[in-house]
Amino acid sequence: MKVSFLVLISFLLLIHTPAFGQRVSLSVREATLEHVLDEISSQTNSLFLYKDNLIKNIKVLSFQVKNAQLTHVLDKLCQQYGLDYRIIAGTITIFNKETPLDGTSSNQKKVLTAHGKVVSDPGNIPMVGVTVKNADRSLSTMTDSAGHFTITGIHGDKISFQHIGYVTYILVLGIDNMDEVLLNNSVQTLSEVVVTGYGDLNREEYSGSVTVMTSEDIADRPISSFEHVFGGKVPGLVVSSSGQPGDIAEVRLRGFGSMSSSNQPLYVIDGIIFDQDNTSGHSNAVSSPMAMINPADIANITVLKDAASASLYGSQGANGVIVITTKQGIPSNRMRFGLSAQSGVSNIFSAVKPEFVTAEQYKELWTEGQMHRLIQAQGGDFKQNLDNLYHNKLGYFLDGLNYYQWHKLAQQDFNNYYALQKPDGTYYDYDFWGDDADKLPNTDWFDEITRTAKFQQYNLSMTGGSTNLKY
């Protein structure tokens, strides 16, 4: 029995010990805590147990360790998110942290001094002038020429490492290893570029009234002509067109400046002023040269709206200027292909759809108008006769007929006017005000000539170039 007990103890120790000695390397940003635990599990072959609702909504903005002990990694994670853990036989259980009775443990009250070195990643080059700050104690210092630093604080204080051009890194004093801190380069998004007649400027540096649209803004909209991309994107700009394919769109950027001359803005494409004259050669079949520009080939559009912006182009820019820059190839030893596809459906917006009368409503309106025409033909004061007939439909007579008799005459005229023809050329004797009312057609011709339109659009591009040529 003693032998069996010793063997069992040895077996448990073999299982339990590796969990404390294993090391982990991680570098994650904007990930879920569940993803971080999965990554630790794959590196250590450990099994994690936790309730889904405990960590489901926890987001890890930034977490980085390099060759750190598993227990140190778990201490750091749990400290940040108010959790605790327990390791039993290679299984790690995550649970809510129990609050101490006095609110603070003796370890948390100790004053600690951290010594370390800050290096850049990649390269492991010592970084000079990195700001090391204890935000909890309003203490800060900077790294020396060799990248070394020294800072003090209380167990659990957050120590931040900041440097221009690098991602800010935060470690916990007394929990995280600060012997060597790696800072990663920070990738900054370039500001929008304003293209003017004199060159390119950052959007923040330009004081005029301008709107910049990038290729991403255009790619999100299923359009056939680039003018329609302005809708809802450029304040004060109005676009209207007949809807005919290839027709010249009316673009109003600065209102109506002339009653006779064109009020269209000036278009400048890759530095060249573009003429918008009709290229079809026929006044009844207008064709716009702007329709030849594929929206997928546009890199950005700069809309210059105020007088100062337009003055760059003289009197031609009096109605505003729209500067278009097309996509350019990148010098490379290989050709690059791009493919985009769009598909969908298009409907006429219900708010602009005309509302037509029904057959019954039309019949009533036509008959009422015909009765008024018959009464007017009798001569005399038409308005007075009409008022008398409507106010006394039974007792007032005009030319021997009261209101209902005049209305009956108008109904008969309707039956005669809209009589349906037989194949032999004669007409049916229908009474559309009686038993034959259902024989009147009740067709919504707007629905008949329109439909839900399906569309598909594909763009295939090839780009490349060399030092002497771009395509």
pLDDT for 244 equals 64
The CATH number assigned to the domain holding 76 equals: 3.55.50.30
CA 123 to chain centre: 38
- Cα 238 from Cα 261, distance rounded (Å): 18
Domain, as residue range, for 205: 193-327
**What pLDDT tens digit does each residue of the chain (471 aa) get?**
333 333 333 333 334 444 456 788 888 887 888 888 888 888 888 888 777 777 777 888 788 888 888 888 888 888 887 788 877 767 788 877 653 433 444 444 567 888 899 988 767 788 888 889 887 777 788 888 888 998 888 888 889 998 877 888 888 888 888 888 888 876 554 455 555 544 555 554 455 667 777 777 777 666 666 667 776 667 777 777 666 666 666 777 766 655 556 677 777 888 787 766 555 555 555 556 666 777 778 888 888 777 666 567 777 777 778 888 888 777 665 677 878 787 888 777 777 778 888 888 899 999 999 999 998 988 888 899 889 889 998 989 988 899 999 999 999 999 889 888 888 888 888 888 888 888 888 888 888 888 888 878 788 888 877 767 777
Residues 141 and 90 in one domain: no
**Structural domain contains residue 353:** no
Residues 201 and 314 in one domain: yes
Q: Quick one: DSSP state of residue 465? A: B
Residues 383 and 258 in one domain: no
**Structural domain contains residue 298:** yes
Residues 173 and 205 in one domain: no
- Cα 126 from Cα 120, distance rounded (Å): 6
**Structural domain contains residue 348:** no
Residues 54 and 126 in one domain: no
Residues 209 and 316 in one domain: yes
pLDDT for 206 equals 55
Pair 16, 89: CB distance under 8 Å: yes
Helices (H) and strands (E) in the chain, counts: 11, 23
Pair 419, 430: CB distance under 8 Å: yes
**Structural domain contains residue 461:** no
Q: Is the dihedral of CA 468, 332, 335, 463 positive or negative?
A: negative
**Structural domain contains residue 438:** yes
Pairing of strands 83-88, 91-96: antiparallel
* Structural domains of the chain, count: 4
Residues 138 and 166 in one domain: yes
* Distances 54 to 38, 70, 218, 377, 419 between C-alpha atoms, Å: 15, 21, 42, 88, 79
Residues 282 and 211 in one domain: yes
**Structural domain contains residue 296:** yes
Residues 68 and 133 in one domain: no
DSSP, collapsed to helix, strand or coil, labels residue 175 as: coil
**Structural domain contains residue 345:** no
pLDDT for 108 equals 47
Pair 321, 265: CB distance under 8 Å: yes
**Structural domain contains residue 339:** no
Residues 62 and 133 in one domain: no
pLDDT for 203 equals 52
The CATH number assigned to the domain holding 293 equals: 2.170.130.10
Residues 158 and 74 in one domain: no
Task: Retrieve residue 155's tokens.
Answer: 């167990």
pLDDT for 368 equals 92
